[in-house]
Structure 1
């Protein structure tokens, strides 16, 4: 494979769309024998399914290395990939693992990712592959390490240090290395050389596999929509390496100002996320250099980016250190206009989608529309009020992405069975002209595909008509999230035929428009 394919760093979007549709599915949910979805054969099979049903979009969640809770929205790096997605079979094909290494596989669940079982098993095999690779480091690997050094060096050392400190947060390490004193950095780089190499190898291999898969999708006229959380985890290489970019107490090394949302209908105390807010003054002084590098890296991984919590670029809820809830926070204006103007000046027109859900002010909408970022519409929110509800399909403009639900929603069948009230159910029945419970998901899929929104995305769980047991994430619930997986046999010919027919009927099929 050509060197440029290992990590192209940044390239313009592969293509542009008029009217299109696709599926929301994170790679961890793919089938496979190793307890978690990966970038191997099943991923290519899923791309084939998308192409067969004439889809043009595959939306995923953030690809970063997950920490406590396994949430892709709380990663150890904003720029690295998740080693758990590396295909062991691909490593075997390269000769980095023997068949014997993969002969005895634990009896993993095929329906859920049991991270406590998967992580030690996969990391053990990944370390074996790294040891073999180390004996014959390729020029391609050296080139990767050099071109990605701006994030790879800090990340690899950070992960090696976490392991050496039994997983403790960086703010609890010895102050010399926590505060990145030059002598300490030099000493630990020498001391942890093997562990650092392992982390570099894992990123090299992740990128090699990911970009091969992305190329396969793009060749079949399928774009990948990634997801970029607005905030990064406090316990991350980004905050440890660049604390000046964040609101960090120089003494405690903890966030002096935390992100969240204020009290609302859903929570009397609001939501306190714990992520440090940005030191926007410093970021502006550097002409948003860190943000530009982050976005460049993300645009190498994917073709379009969904910006999570977009409203935080207009103004954000900040909570002072020591608070236990989000009740006593306050709004602070953010330099979203200056940021996006600078990024566009450097990178050109940005293929961003704005997650503009929740209580959105006219100022947030103005920021979104100034840069022509498509917003989001969720059909599960559409039936709780009258015809003025902004989520109803006939109130949706073209420059939007419409969903039946997202990774944070229940499945459509679960929503209708367990959450929707009688008024919402009656409104939906009236709107679509009636259906039975077994086909409620198809009714919602038809609404999404038939809308004027340029893009329509269907979570795979909804396409499969699965219930609440297949929900990907329940916000506020600490355990049991990010675990759902599907069986390849679920993508049967009848399903393919019906989805293809609806995609063509509503003008969203590949090559249907000039």
Structure 2
């Protein structure tokens, strides 16, 4: 299979981007917050970040999955594979659009409970507004959105309303009719919880409207949004609840087999993710309908999409559902070729990148290359003393996406600090004993690669140490909460980045 047209446009010239999740942006809703740091939103700081990127000559903004999260905040364990994270909604944007009055939002502490209360206040004002003459056109747009997205919004809105009704308890504990997704029980619940269902619909409408506004702004600056699809979905999600027959579950709805990985670079005992595995036979029988619907939603959000844990399309690590020990798993073949054939038949220009890190076999790479999917190479993995290491720059290829590190790695400065003297010397020797200080030594190594796309985490551009990493795989403490402030950004950083991109021929024509 040949490369898609979309991929050709991205990889036909050298370019560079930045990795930063929107939650890591400074919070722009300061006038509603008193004394507590909050996560970033799709508000004015997101637009400021795009301006920064344009000034720096960066043309790709890569981020993590943008779905609603559980209390652990992991974007890889989302409540929905389709929905947007309501925590990213900007109240300022809603006020500027005239959808809600400023006095309708009273938020004194931006924890998730108070954010939810503030969104309820905003929702009440929004529904009052669209009942007025002035809100008629917005009402029409809102109802059109709900109709167009009904293929996922109907289930997500009811699922979230039910989770709130049952105090966030897993759907497997709900009354039998609701647990089994019985249509009669669902209809009764939808009527009983109509205001709560409408609130979720409002939040999704607000998210998608704000997202499209931001995406349009990015496109005017010749900046593309690079998304991330987790290969698996959370057990406690609208997807598993609504599509139980497509997952390996027992009669009580509990997973018979869960996802993870065997021991690897990140963990000596492997990782137990807990996501239920797909029933691939069922999915193949309906031509992967669920996957095609998932891609449809993501293509409305992103210009380029990374498939996280791509190797799971060739074979997946199956851990028995009754154990927490990831080492008890086994590799089981997956129908990756059939799935990707269906995806590209439905979306011929599908712009995918394969996350091919970890335990990667010849079969996995053959599947990736069969569909001409760019892969990932990470410089922090390169210096193990093996000259054949694929992450070393002399082994890179044009279609590779080159990273100094990823959201799962330490910052490059933190990584370098953890190296022994021999490893540091090996890195310096490889770089011709360059006098560049870290992390710019690694940044410049990524930018100089033959790989046509290079992505640098924002923490590396800001020269931050390991205290600022986004995630530490295998742990659940203090992950996904890092944010930056513009005061931490050197005033000359954009100019420095642009100069380096010019040196390595990675500037793309921008307005």
TM-score range relative to shorter protein: over 0.9
Counterpart Cα distance in 2 of 1:159 and 1:508: 44
Does residue 210 in structure 1 map to residue 205 in structure 2? no
User: How many residues are treated as equivalent by the alignment?
Assistant: 489
Deviation at 1:191, TM superposition (A): 0.5
Counterpart Cα distance in 2 of 1:12 and 1:432: 34
SS in 1 for 2:328: coil
| Cα distance change, pair 391–14 in 1 and its aligned pair in 2 (3 A) | closer
Provide the residue aligned with 2:154 in structure 1: 153
Provide the residue aligned with 2:16 in structure 1: 21
Whether the aligned pair in 2 keeps the contact of 1:14 and 1:218 (CA below 8 Å) is no
Provide the residue aligned with 1:325 in structure 2: 325
Provide the residue aligned with 1:287 in structure 2: 287
Correspondences of 1:107-118 after superposition (within 5 Å) = 117-118=110-111
SS in 1 for 2:450: coil
Counterpart Cα distance in 2 of 1:336 and 1:102: 47
Provide the residue aligned with 1:358 in structure 2: 358
Counterpart Cα distance in 1 of 2:404 and 2:108: 37
Provide the residue aligned with 1:439 in structure 2: 437
Larger displacement relative to structure 2 (266-275 or 64-73)? 266-275
Provide the residue aligned with 1:465 in structure 2: 463
SS in 1 for 2:408: coil
Per-residue deviation, residues 436-494 of structure 1 (Å, max 9, x unmatched) = 6x921111110000000010000000000000111000011111011111112333431
Counterpart Cα distance in 1 of 2:260 and 2:86: 29
SS in 1 for 2:64: coil
SS in 2 for 1:439: coil
Whether the aligned pair in 1 keeps the contact of 2:6 and 2:349 (CA below 8 Å) is no
Per-residue deviation, residues 227-272 of structure 1 (Å, max 9, x unmatched) = 000000000000000011111112x211011111123465454222
Deviation at 1:174, TM superposition (A): 1.1
Match 1:64 to one of 63, 67, 71: 67
Whether the aligned pair in 2 keeps the contact of 1:64 and 1:75 (CA below 8 Å) is yes
Gaps of 5+ in 2: 132-138
Provide the residue aligned with 1:5 in structure 2: none
Whether the aligned pair in 2 keeps the contact of 1:36 and 1:118 (CA below 8 Å) is no
| Cα distance change, pair 265–484 in 1 and its aligned pair in 2 (3 A) | closer
| Cα distance change, pair 291–493 in 1 and its aligned pair in 2 (3 A) | same
Deviation at 1:224, TM superposition (A): 0.7
Provide the residue aligned with 1:123 in structure 2: 116
Counterpart Cα distance in 1 of 2:246 and 2:332: 16
SS in 2 for 1:377: strand
Provide the residue aligned with 2:250 in structure 1: 249
Question: Superposition RMSD on alpha carbons, in Å?
Answer: 1.9
Provide the residue aligned with 1:378 in structure 2: 378
Per-residue deviation, residues 354-385 of structure 1 (Å, max 9, x unmatched) = 11011210000000000111111101111121
Correspondences of 1:419-430 after superposition (within 5 Å) = 419-430=418-429
Does residue 494 in structure 1 map to residue 473 in structure 2? no
Correspondences of 1:396-415 after superposition (within 5 Å) = 396-415=396-415
Whether the aligned pair in 1 keeps the contact of 2:107 and 2:115 (CA below 8 Å) is no
Larger displacement relative to structure 2 (321-330 or 144-153)? 321-330
Provide the residue aligned with 1:132 in structure 2: 125
SS in 2 for 1:348: coil
Does residue 173 in structure 1 map to residue 153 in structure 2? no
Correspondences of 1:256-295 after superposition (within 5 Å) = 256-264=256-264, 267-295=267-295
Counterpart Cα distance in 1 of 2:488 and 2:262: 41
Counterpart Cα distance in 2 of 1:368 and 1:386: 24
Deviation at 1:210, TM superposition (A): 0.4
Larger displacement relative to structure 2 (168-177 or 421-430)? 421-430
Counterpart Cα distance in 1 of 2:505 and 2:106: 47
Whether the aligned pair in 2 keeps the contact of 1:58 and 1:222 (CA below 8 Å) is yes
Deviation at 1:124, TM superposition (A): 1.8
Larger displacement relative to structure 2 (303-312 or 123-132)? 123-132
Q: TM-score normalised to the size of structure 2?
A: 0.92
Larger displacement relative to structure 2 (231-240 or 91-100)? 91-100
Whether the aligned pair in 1 keeps the contact of 2:264 and 2:358 (CA below 8 Å) is no
Provide the residue aligned with 2:135 in structure 1: none
Deviation at 1:121, TM superposition (A): 2.5
| Cα distance change, pair 349–249 in 1 and its aligned pair in 2 (3 A) | same
Larger displacement relative to structure 2 (485-494 or 218-227)? 485-494
Deviation at 1:329, TM superposition (A): 1.9
Provide the residue aligned with 2:347 in structure 1: 347
Whether the aligned pair in 1 keeps the contact of 2:15 and 2:453 (CA below 8 Å) is yes
Whether the aligned pair in 1 keeps the contact of 2:246 and 2:283 (CA below 8 Å) is yes
Does residue 222 in structure 1 map to residue 223 in structure 2? yes
SS in 2 for 1:406: coil
